[in-house]
Amino acid sequence: MEENKVTIKVNDNGSLRVTGQVELVDAEGNPFEHKESFSLCRCGASGNKPFCDGTHKSINFVSAPRAKKD
Ligand code: FES
């Protein structure tokens, strides 16, 4: 794996876990403060968008996509 490669993991029934050197900006280009690894809301119910706050568990969000294998 490349040292500076960004990885986004689609967690089953939950968030998008982002790891690596990446800048997260709003629609106006202003940066959000975040750590090197952070989770983005995928369910739409977070009270702290764009970040995941764990609400996906209480709404029983269900989504577990898998990438196609070669
Ligand atoms: S994915 Fe966690 S609150 Fe939406």
Digit-coded pLDDT (tens) for 23-61: 999 999 999 999 999 999 999 999 999 999 999 999 999
Residue 3 has pLDDT above 80, yes or no: no
Determine if residue 42 is left, alpha or beta; phi over 0 gives left, psi from -120 to 50 gives alpha, anything else beta.
Answer: alpha
Residue 2 has pLDDT above 80, yes or no: no
Which pTM was predicted? Answer: 0.91
**Pair type for strands 37-40 and 7-10:** unpaired
Q: 10 Å Cβ neighbour count for 14? A: 19
Which residues surround ligand 1 with Cβ inside 6 Å? Answer: 14-15, 41-43, 45-46, 52-56
* Most ligand 1 atoms within 8 A of CB, residue of 49, 56, 62 to mutate: 56
What is the CATH architecture of 1-62?
A: 3-Layer(aba) Sandwich (3.40)
Domain spans in the chain, listed from the N-terminal domain onward: 1-62
Residue 1 has pLDDT above 60, yes or no: no
